[in-house]
Structure 1
Amino acid sequence: MPLPQPDDDLTSLVLRTDFGDDEAWDALRTALDAADEYTHATYVSDLRFAGVSVRTLLDEEAAADEDDRVIHLFLADPTAMEGPEHPLLAVDLADEPGRTFRVPARWFPDVSANLSIANMDFAEFADAADRSGTFRGFEGTDAS
């Protein structure tokens, strides 16, 4: 079954994989929406993705028709749900399938917008991640 599609070309897919706490899901969405004046996410909360692995997502994507493929997505997994920064797991499904990094809600609009319009490549953000694998902006930007 193909992955869901973002609502439009300017939003990224945020796929819920942790269904243990509806309030945490609401808090994560609130944090993402509050990070910028524009919406950057298409939220999908579908139990078929409960606990899904990156490998399974890659397999589903590989089996999809070319027109139905998703280039990247963000997972709302247990780490994103529980962490105070709500660090989503960004997943590359195209250039380096399976490559990941974390992106806190504060940085999500920047990453989503640039990936959605192909202004920057997934690798540029992943390469700028800190030692924990989390993108917190590029050197010289305000990380507060």
Structure 2
Amino acid sequence: MAQSLPEGESLLLRTDFTDDAAWAQTLAAVIASYDEDTETGLTPIDEAAFDGLTLDELVELVDGQTYVFLADATTMTDSEHPILAVDTSDEDDRGGYPVFRIAPSAMAGVEVNFFLANMDFGDFADNVDDDGVYRGFDQ
């Protein structure tokens, strides 16, 4: 298991290594969601040391990040490849950390607004579709 998270503001951490093609599709869709002039802090992390990382383990590794994006088993197996957004800044009432999923095509809108502190976690988590995936405000 990794001892610490890599440096970076907006980490997209791969935690499932069962399907390299699904990871490549996910990452390509995420990158395509950005305009070429968009200011971003996105740092994709593709290190096998994070394979199987749980939310509890993630929270112990966090060092100043208030959010982390995970490409987990659901990301790799769901045809839409939704990424898990984790709010690591505050535990919820049940002792867990707030989460929601993001369609890769909507990733830039979420990540940039988190990175620039224009919007917070709840602004997006409160606007997920019935299946728990954020696809944008205009969907």
TM norm structure 2:
0.83
Match of 1:57 in 2: 58
Distance 1:25 1:137 in 2: 22
Structural RMSD (CA): 1.8
Distance 2:32 2:80 in 1: 12
AA in 1 matched with 2:102: V
Task: Give unpaired runs (5+ residues) of structure 2.
Answer: none
C-alpha distance after superposition, 1:8-32 (max 9, x if no partner): x5xx211001111212211111111
How far 1:102 sits from its partner (Å)? 0.3
Query: Secondary structure of 1:42's match?
Result: strand
- Structure 1 stretch displaced more, 19-28 or 115-124: 19-28
Match of 1:26 in 2: 24
Distance 1:37 1:84 in 2: 24
Establish whether residue 123 from structure 1 lines up as the match of residue 118 from structure 2.
no
How far 1:47 sits from its partner (Å)? 1.6
Match of 2:105 in 1: 106
Number of aligned residue pairs: give it: 130
Match of 1:3 in 2: 5
The answer to whether the Cα contact below 8 Å between 1:31 and 1:86 also exists between their aligned partners in 2 is no
Distance 1:37 1:13 in 2: 19
Establish whether residue 92 from structure 1 lines up as the match of residue 91 from structure 2.
no
Query: Secondary structure of 1:75's match?
Result: strand
Amino-acid identity (%): 41
How far 1:44 sits from its partner (Å)? 0.5
How far 1:99 sits from its partner (Å)? 0.7
- Structure 1 stretch displaced more, 44-53 or 126-135: 126-135
Distance 1:131 1:55 in 2: 26
Runs of 4+ residues deviating >2 angstroms? 36-41, 82-85
Match of 2:72 in 1: 77
The answer to whether the Cα contact below 8 Å between 1:3 and 1:70 also exists between their aligned partners in 2 is no
TM norm structure 1:
0.81
